[in-house]
Amino acid sequence: MQLGVIGLGRMGQIVVNRVVDAGHEVVAFDLDAEAVATAADAGATPAESVADLADRLGDDKRIWLMVPAGAAVDATLDELASHVDEDDVVVDGGNSHFEKSVGRAETTDAAYLDCGTSGGPAGAELGFSLMVGGPQWAYDEMTPVFDAVATGPAGHDRMGPVGSGHYVKMVHNGVEYALMQAYGEGFELLANGRYDLDLEAVAKTWNNGAVIRSWLLELCEEAFREEGSDLGDVADHVSGGSTGTWTVREALEQEVPVPLIYQALAERFGSRDDARFSRRLANRLRYGFGRHEVVRDEE
Amino acid sequence: MQLGVIGLGRMGQIVVNRVVDAGHEVVAFDLDAEAVATAADAGATPAESVADLADRLGDDKRIWLMVPAGAAVDATLDELASHVDEDDVVVDGGNSHFEKSVGRAETTDAAYLDCGTSGGPAGAELGFSLMVGGPQWAYDEMTPVFDAVATGPAGHDRMGPVGSGHYVKMVHNGVEYALMQAYGEGFELLANGRYDLDLEAVAKTWNNGAVIRSWLLELCEEAFREEGSDLGDVADHVSGGSTGTWTVREALEQEVPVPLIYQALAERFGSRDDARFSRRLANRLRYGFGRHEVVRDEE
Amino acid sequence: MQLGVIGLGRMGQIVVNRVVDAGHEVVAFDLDAEAVATAADAGATPAESVADLADRLGDDKRIWLMVPAGAAVDATLDELASHVDEDDVVVDGGNSHFEKSVGRAETTDAAYLDCGTSGGPAGAELGFSLMVGGPQWAYDEMTPVFDAVATGPAGHDRMGPVGSGHYVKMVHNGVEYALMQAYGEGFELLANGRYDLDLEAVAKTWNNGAVIRSWLLELCEEAFREEGSDLGDVADHVSGGSTGTWTVREALEQEVPVPLIYQALAERFGSRDDARFSRRLANRLRYGFGRHEVVRDEE
Amino acid sequence: MQLGVIGLGRMGQIVVNRVVDAGHEVVAFDLDAEAVATAADAGATPAESVADLADRLGDDKRIWLMVPAGAAVDATLDELASHVDEDDVVVDGGNSHFEKSVGRAETTDAAYLDCGTSGGPAGAELGFSLMVGGPQWAYDEMTPVFDAVATGPAGHDRMGPVGSGHYVKMVHNGVEYALMQAYGEGFELLANGRYDLDLEAVAKTWNNGAVIRSWLLELCEEAFREEGSDLGDVADHVSGGSTGTWTVREALEQEVPVPLIYQALAERFGSRDDARFSRRLANRLRYGFGRHEVVRDEE
């Protein structure tokens, strides 16, 4: 089949490669001409604009958006608006908020599939996990493409109506934060505990048969191999946090307790603030009631 | 080589089977004669007592204890005391506290290896992850057995001196609690969220390529397949907790924050108490300051 | 001075009483005629409608709204719209979200003061704590009324521009949740601990000189006196949660970690759900990896 | 009545002063002669040794120990051993672990009262809150002294048998940690929130009539008055933690969830570690799965 891909960053190129490799025809566009050239080298037909891409796709267009979540998605949909109709299918493979996807489906003439995509750059070889929301017929139409982009037929599924794909991906990411922090706590204790341990060896041993083996633990093993058991100069500064924040907000809305996900997110916030006000106040209060000496910053 | 196995419960039988299958000779004993017979059927030489087992092993005895952590380990070591010397090796493959293992190593004439064993009954086929502490020479001597019991050479390693094996296993279990709770929070949100989802399909899709894929997530998938997306009559009651408690106590001792592991453990405690006093008091206090109606138990 | 009070529920009546007792003139209105009659008995001039109330106040109207947060505030402001101008002052003494107050200030011709009110029905005698946001001149104009409604001049202050009053009150409530849960945890441990304690005596002793003495602890003491050390039939069900939810959402927005406030809120959610999905899954997973028996609900 | 006081640090001197001021006779001893002189100036009879103090007390000795928890208590009890019998009463007013107190009661011939003392140096004027464990008769005998040292008769009570006084004090301190952190979170949000607030004014307003008013909040008010709304150079470093650790350990033992107390304690640990390993690992893992740039420490 034929697929248009708009957005040729790291993830978009992987989509192009995997779909081309599966024997499909790809028309590719990005605002960056160099990225288009890279896709062309990989076997895609280059397009000069969104309109050009749409023209080249003919009727029953199948289009995959892999642009940054946010304004770029809306801008691309605006450009596509006059080129698509109800027989066409648009997939948003980025990290959009599910409510945005619900809104976009309403204002797009094409069938709209929101597709949570997990696996990162490593998916280039393995394929991704695709969590898809939207009309069944559109999902069915896209199945050959999903088979190619995902790890295979088992790596994608229709979660439910539009929004459900990005909803499930949002929760996936919330869980991801908590898993990382859980492993981190274990290794923090081992790194500060009673024995002088080779943490790569610990992770390797766990990854071979232990209950907690996982891909994230394989990445821990890789991290210790490359950075050392003390993680070298890796800083206590965790960036990101938007999908975790969305997860906690949704959990508040649904009144579902998610203390581990919340705490993992809070650790990120804390990692970016060298002097937590709450602790500074506690330091001072201990003087207030117990005349314990206040610890003060050196100049 | 030749191995004595004392303790032939579910895990002990797996050890027997895997070591026999690897071509080694096994002498097996358990207080339950039926368990000894099962081991004999699997190819082990039955022993009638600890003393008999020791006699049958000759010099340079290699003995694997797979008895319940606690008094049973001490009782077995007492029985072994007059039969072992410094050329012999005793492995404790159970879930003992690392400080107990340190103490036992001091009072045992044989070389003592504490071996944290993870993987559960599923290890019957796959092999286990073995985290071993104790003298290097003893670990080296036991390598053929560890190769057989573990998933292979990658599935075992010497963590450090005696105690370190059970120490690493203790932390493994603390992490395990947190991972389970983290997945649980994600699925709890999905089960109470905006979409009517097939949680087995979610878990299956995640297990194929998503960042959070893991063996525990495969067990979630299995749970939803067997119990349904609503988990049927599975109760809100989580048993166990000793190794998690040890982990938190050790983290207190080392002054390492482990909020996710702590909270996962606290959820277990909470699951066993239908009426948490703290919340009951909060309910009453809301009346105290705001005259909000007190919710009372029906008779 | 002269004050119009709209909304004569429990809190509104206290406002009327305290302002009348301070020697001011009050015109009072509520949709419920009986409530108006009660206010009249207390010395207020009854009004038959919002318009009537506005008429009776003459120029430079000073009006206190004590209606439920939400639609009622907007409806009352709509009714007031044609009766007030920039020389008038409207106070919202309810628990509105600060962003709503900012919006209302923009669409109201009168000067708008958002006034967080804490102290509950007990404030009838003691007076309230009033956290006020809005223009300085309007705050100054209202000072005699604030002196009367609050515990006195120390019991009210201008926090900053409009919105800041309800903002500070929102955070107050978040802290309140955490304080209640903190005391609750202490008493939960004492109630389940090693000694058979009279919790009223504990709270009484603490309230007399201990570091943690507070009004909430006095309410704990009262609760144990009235319900007993076991809290009798007080249920594990904590209602409410909106201001706590707002606090956590704002903390997410500002990327400020508030783990105690979050957890206190999560305990409320948990208290309303007898069968937490996350724990049920953990129960099942322990079978998955360790063949620990699944605890199942009885029919 | 007559009281011997051993240990004349800050707290011991306050005990001396309050008991002398109440008209009782005090014999005072400390290893530091200057401290004894200070007590003598305050009206106490100086003693030259523990033995001398015991001699001066005659029969039916009433002795208050106010020495640092730990070895000093045992050393003092050893010295007292030959001087006391079953008609005498010894009070340990320090922060001993309750299990130590139980043990000491068993090995002391005198009746033993463990007395949790809260209120800090501020108790010099107000008096303390005293939580007492031990035999009823001994508590009754000491009542005049407790009346003097406490805020009055309401400020002390017998909690139960020996150990219960220090047990209740231990839990008091656990709650104290959580209350401080709860206020801290609220002020941290306000300090980083949408409005430029005078936190002393906020605390002052809350302390006058708000639900969360308390002595600790008065200490917050004082802290902001003395250090400014930004707390100046007060460092993010909270010392201490032993009684909080004891509380969490006891809660683990009793299987009572105390997430707020735990988290408050964990914040102390975190405040002493500038580079949390768990977060450093999360930073690195984000590169592992998503190729997000690793943040690294500058040289």
Name the burial class of residue B137, with classes exposed (0-12), middle (13-18) and buried (19+) by CB atoms within 10 angstroms of its CB: exposed
Which residues of chain B make contact with C267, given a CB cutoff of 8 A? 276, 278-279, 282
Neighbours of C256 (CB within 10 A): 24
How many H-runs (helices) and E-runs (strands) does chain C carry?
A: 13, 8
CB distance D129–C195 less than 8 Å? no
At D196, give phi and psi (nearest 5°).
-90, 100
pLDDT at D28: 98
Neighbours of A165 (CB within 10 A): 33
Asked whether A224 and A203 are in contact (CB, 8 A), the reply is yes
pLDDT greater than 80 at residue D105: yes
Residue intervals of chain A classified under CATH 3.40.50.720 are 2-161
Of the residues D61, D169, D221, D250, which is catalytic?
D169
* Cα gap A232→A223, rounded to integer Å: 10
Element (H, E) at C297: none
Asked whether A122 and A178 are in contact (CB, 8 A), the reply is no
Q: Which residue of B has its CA nearest to D212?
A: B289
At D29, give phi and psi (nearest 5°).
-140, 145
Asked whether D38 and D96 are in contact (CB, 8 A), the reply is no
Element (H, E) at C291: none
Asked whether the CA dihedral B187, B193, B194, B198 is positive or negative, the reply is positive
Lookup result for tokens 């406030």: C261
Going by C-alpha positions, the residue among B168, B260, B246 that lies closest to residue D252 is B246
Going by C-alpha positions, the residue among B66, B136, B138, B73 that lies closest to residue B101 is B73
pTM: 0.97
Q: How far is CA D265 from CA B80, D179, D269, in A?
A: 44, 11, 7
Please, which residues have CB within 8 angstroms of residue C123's CB and are 6 or more apart in sequence?
Answer: C14, C117, C151, D209
Asked whether B118 and B172 are in contact (CB, 8 A), the reply is yes
Q: To probe the interface with B, which of A205, A217, A246, A249 has the most B CB atoms within 10 Å?
A: A205
Q: How far is CA B276 from CA A229, B260, B269, C272, C295, in A?
A: 42, 20, 10, 12, 20
The CATH architecture assigned to B169-271 reads Orthogonal Bundle (1.10)
**Average pLDDT for residues D114-132, to the nearest whole number?**
94
- What are residue A233's DSSP bridge partners? none
Neighbours of A78 (CB within 10 A): 11
pLDDT greater than 70 at residue A299: no
Bridge-based pairing of strands A2-6 and A62-65 is parallel
Which candidate from A216, A219, A288 shows the least CB-CB separation from D219?
A: A288
CB distance A197–B150 less than 8 Å? no
* Cα gap B219→B230, rounded to integer Å: 15
- What are residue B150's DSSP bridge partners? B128
pLDDT at B10: 93
Going by C-alpha positions, the residue among B161, B176, B97 that lies closest to residue B129 is B176
Q: Which residue of C has its CA nearest to D204?
A: C154
How confident is the model over B190-234, as pLDDT tens digits?
A: 999 999 999 999 999 999 999 999 999 999 999 999 999 999 999
Q: Which residue of C has its CA nearest to A254?
A: C269
Going by C-alpha positions, the residue among C244, C243, C239 that lies closest to residue C97 is C243
Bridge-based pairing of strands C111-118 and C129-133 is antiparallel
DSSP state at residue D151? S
Which residues of chain C make contact with A241, given a CB cutoff of 8 A? 255
Asked whether B90 and B63 are in contact (CB, 8 A), the reply is yes
**Average pLDDT for residues B280-295, to the nearest whole number?**
94
For A26-38, give one letter per residue: b (16+ CB within 10 A) or e.
Answer: bbbbbeeeebbeb
* Cα gap D290→A173, rounded to integer Å: 12
Average pLDDT, chain B: 97
- Looking at CATH, the fold of the domain delimited by D2-161 is given as Rossmann fold (3.40.50)
Bridge-based pairing of strands A111-118 and A129-133 is antiparallel
Average pLDDT, chain D: 97
pLDDT at D299: 63
Would you say C77 is a known binding-site residue? Answer: no
pLDDT greater than 80 at residue A25: yes
Asked whether C236 and B274 are in contact (CB, 8 A), the reply is yes
pLDDT at B69: 86
Q: How far is CA B155 from the centre of its chain?
A: 15
Which residues of chain A make contact with B176, given a CB cutoff of 8 A? 211-212
At C113, give phi and psi (nearest 5°).
-115, 125
Which residues of chain A make contact with D274, given a CB cutoff of 8 A? 236, 274
Name the burial class of residue D256, with classes exposed (0-12), middle (13-18) and buried (19+) by CB atoms within 10 angstroms of its CB: buried
Structure tokens that stand for A90 in this block: 């648009």
CB distance C248–A245 less than 8 Å? no
Higher pLDDT, B65 or D121: B65
Q: Tell me, yes or no, if B176 is annotated catalytic.
A: yes
Which candidate from C184, C191, C296 shows the least CB-CB separation from B282?
A: C184
Structure tokens that stand for C249 in this block: 């959402």
Lookup result for tokens 């005696």: B162
C-alpha atoms less than 13 angstroms from C-alpha of B289 in its C-beta half-sphere: 26
Task: Note whether ipTM > 0.90 here.
Answer: yes
Going by C-alpha positions, the residue among C85, C93, C176, C78 that lies closest to residue C134 is C93
List, run by run, the mean pLDDT of 10-residue segments along chain C (299 residues). 96 97 98 97 97 95 94 95 97 96 97 96 92 98 98 98 98 98 98 98 98 98 97 96 97 98 98 94 94 90
D207 CA to chain B: closest CA distance, Å?
A: 15
Neighbours of A100 (CB within 10 A): 17
Going by C-alpha positions, the residue among D28, D54, D53 that lies closest to residue D42 is D28
Bridge-based pairing of strands D111-118 and D129-133 is antiparallel
Q: Which residues of D are annotated as a binding site for substrate?
A: 95, 118-120, 172-173, 177, 268
Q: To probe the interface with A, which of C97, C248, C262 has the most A CB atoms within 10 Å?
A: C262
- What are residue A29's DSSP bridge partners? A6
Asked whether D205 and D190 are in contact (CB, 8 A), the reply is no
Structure tokens that stand for D220 in this block: 């917050």
**Average pLDDT for residues A32-42, to the nearest whole number?**
97
Report percent pLDDT > 90 for chain B: 96
pLDDT at B299: 63
Which residues of chain C make contact with D244, given a CB cutoff of 8 A? none
DSSP states along A111-169: EEEEEEEESGGGHHHH-BEEEEES-HHHHHHHHHHHHHHBSSGGGEEEEESTTHHHHHH
Asked whether D290 and A239 are in contact (CB, 8 A), the reply is no
Give chain D's contact residues with B (Cβ, < 8 Å): 211, 241, 245, 248-249, 252, 255-259, 262-263, 265-267, 269-270, 272, 276, 289-290
Specify the length of chain A in residues: 299
DSSP state at residue B247? H
Alpha helices in chain D (DSSP H): 10-21, 33-41, 50-57, 71-80, 98-107, 123-126, 136-149, 164-191, 199-207, 215-227, 242-254, 259-271, 277-290
Which candidate from C120, C214, C250 shows the least CB-CB separation from D189?
A: C250
**Which amino acid is it at B179?**
L
Asked whether B11 and B117 are in contact (CB, 8 A), the reply is yes
Residue intervals of chain C classified under CATH 1.10.1040.10 are 169-271
Which candidate from C245, C255, C262 shows the least CB-CB separation from A262?
A: C262
Q: Tell me, yes or no, if B169 is annotated catalytic.
A: yes
Which residues of chain A make contact with C289, given a CB cutoff of 8 A? 211
pLDDT greater than 90 at residue B26: yes
Asked whether the CA dihedral C254, C256, C260, C263 is positive or negative, the reply is positive
Q: How far is CA A246 from the centre of its chain?
A: 13
pLDDT at C21: 97
Structure tokens that stand for A239 in this block: 């960036």
Helix D277-290 vs helix A259-271: crossing angle, to nearest 10: 100
**Average pLDDT for residues B29-52, to the nearest whole number?**
97
* Cα gap A241→B63, rounded to integer Å: 51
Asked whether D56 and D48 are in contact (CB, 8 A), the reply is no
Neighbours of B245 (CB within 10 A): 22
Neighbours of A298 (CB within 10 A): 5
